[in-house]
Chain A
Amino acid sequence: SQKIEQNSEALNIQEGKTATLTCNYTNYSPAYLQWYRQDPGRGPVFLLLIRENEKEKRKERLKVTFDTTLKQSLFHITASQPADSATYLCALVWNAGNMLTFGGGTRLMVKP
């Protein structure tokens, strides 16, 4: 069965640095991949979507890469701020028409 792996340990970085979060998956590549942000006690909020035939997507300080050879997506936040502290979830759809499958999320802590 398909599996998604995100680092369950919190990532602690200093304000102003670039945060890099990893999402690994098994077996064949998904049709597309999404990243969400979740704050404590709230529902996830969509950030970025990247498709199988795309290598990179950017939105303001956010960048997502998709490497089908490594079976991995990287999520970068440049010039990180304490307000970026949250849990970040990756979610995959393996076949068009199928539903999203979420990873367990990685908690990011940005210290001032």
Chain B
Amino acid sequence: NAGVTQTPKFRILKIGQSMTLQCTQDMNHNYMYWYRQDPGMGLKLIYYSVGAGITDKGEVPNGYNVSRSTTEDFPLRLELAAPSQTSVYFCASSPSGDHEQYFGPGTRLTVT
């Protein structure tokens, strides 16, 4: 099993550009999550999904959008990138809400 994979690993965006961060898991987990982690800080939840077709906002959803058309994929869309979105983004999955989460390797995004 590859676990949770994320692409790209690194990306530099100009202010106002858009992009999609890809996340795929091959463990057939129902729950998937997107977090951002700023330097020296913990993870903050952006969006999560409890199954295909179901998504909900986390703590810091502004400036982001998600979709969940399949169990495996949970892309994160950034519209009109801003410097405040410079961060490391982690995708994670879990079998249910009260199980451990499995994290991807992260995407390091810089907006200039």
Number of interface residues of A (CB under 8 A): 25
Residue numbers in A under 8 Å from B43 (CB-CB): 44, 89, 102
Q: What is the distance, in angstroms, from A98's C-beta to the closest C-beta of chain B?
A: 8
Query: Which B residues are CB-close (under 8 A) to A43?
Result: 4, 90, 92, 103-106
> How many chain B residues touch the partner (CB < 8 A)?
23
Do B90 and A49 touch (CB < 8 A)?
Answer: no
CB distance from B110 to the nearest CB of A (A): 15
Identity of the chain B residue whose Cβ is nearest the Cβ of A43 in the assembled complex? B103
Is A99 within 8 A of B92, CB to CB?
Answer: no
CB proximity of A8 to chain B, nearest CB, Å: 7
- Contact in complex: A99, B42 (CB < 8 Å): no
**Does B8 lie at the interface of the complex (its beta carbon under 8 Å from any beta carbon of A)?**
no
A112 at the interface (CB under 8 A from B): no
Interface membership of chain A positions 32-59, coded 1 if the CB is closer than 8 angstroms to chain B and 0 otherwise:
1010000001111110010000000000
Contacting B at CB under 8 A, from A1-54, are 4, 6, 8, 31-32, 34, 41-46, 49
Would A93 and B98 count as touching, CB distance under 8 A?
A: yes
Contact B97 A103 (CB under 8 A): no
Complex-state Cα separation, A43 to B40, whole angstroms: 14
Query: Is B48 interfacial (CB 8 A cutoff)?
Result: yes
30 examples of A-B residue contacts, CB within 8 angstroms: A31-B98, A32-B98, A42-B105, A43-B92, A43-B104, A43-B105, A43-B106, A44-B43, A44-B101, A44-B103, A45-B103, A46-B101, A89-B42, A89-B43, A93-B98, A96-B97, A96-B98, A98-B97, A99-B33, A99-B45, A99-B48, A99-B58, A99-B97, A100-B45, A101-B59, A102-B44, A103-B42, A104-B41, A104-B42, A105-B42
**Sample of 9 more A-B contacts, CB < 8 Å, known A45-B103, A97-B97:** A32-B98, A42-B106, A43-B4, A44-B101, A46-B102, A99-B45, A100-B45, A101-B45, A103-B42
